[in-house]
Amino acid sequence: MVIGVGTEVIQGESLILTAGAIDACAYFTSPDVVTEAVMSGVTTMFGGGTGMNGSVTMSTPGPNHIKYMIQSTDDYPMNFGFYGKGNTSKAEGLSKELEDQIVAGAIGTTYTMDQKKTSATTPVAAADTGSEHTNMSLRRPPYARMV
């Protein structure tokens, strides 16, 4: 280890120092998810959901849910990032919907194979990412089979 002018030295007595892990696929369905992650050495969680008894999903639908999820994490010793929902069945206005979620605090949007959706949502989500403020992540969970 090189110690220089940019190095901060801390007192480590009675502390446990671990490398901080990042969970980039978190399902926020219960406060226990965060508690267990902290005890496992996770320092940053990215994911989605709507909280207690919500759907198990990687996205948080709509700007209001994103704001509520951000507010609900204020008391946890964790860094959070929430993905917005990146699919809709209507062709017009998707960029505005995606942008509203980003403005509300989403770190990006996700369109995943584990969401129930109509066949009309795939081309809309994949084609309409024209706003400079939106970012789209297309991903497939390891258990999903591409057709």
Mean pLDDT of the chain: 74
- Is the pTM higher than 0.85? The answer reads no
Give the angle subtended at the CA of 105 by the CAs of 115 and 101, to the nearest 5°: 50
Measured distance CA(50)–CA(60) in Å, rounded:
6
Query: What is the model's pLDDT at position 55?
Result: 65
pLDDT digits (tens, 9 = 90+) for 96-141: 788 888 889 988 888 755 445 544 444 444 444 444 444 444 444 4
Assign 3-class secondary structure to 6-72.
CCCCCCCCCCCCCCCEEEEEEECCCHHHHHHHHHCCEEEEEEECCCCCCCCCCCECHHHHHHHHHHH
Query: What is the model's pLDDT at position 89?
Result: 64
Query: What is the model's pLDDT at position 102?
Result: 86
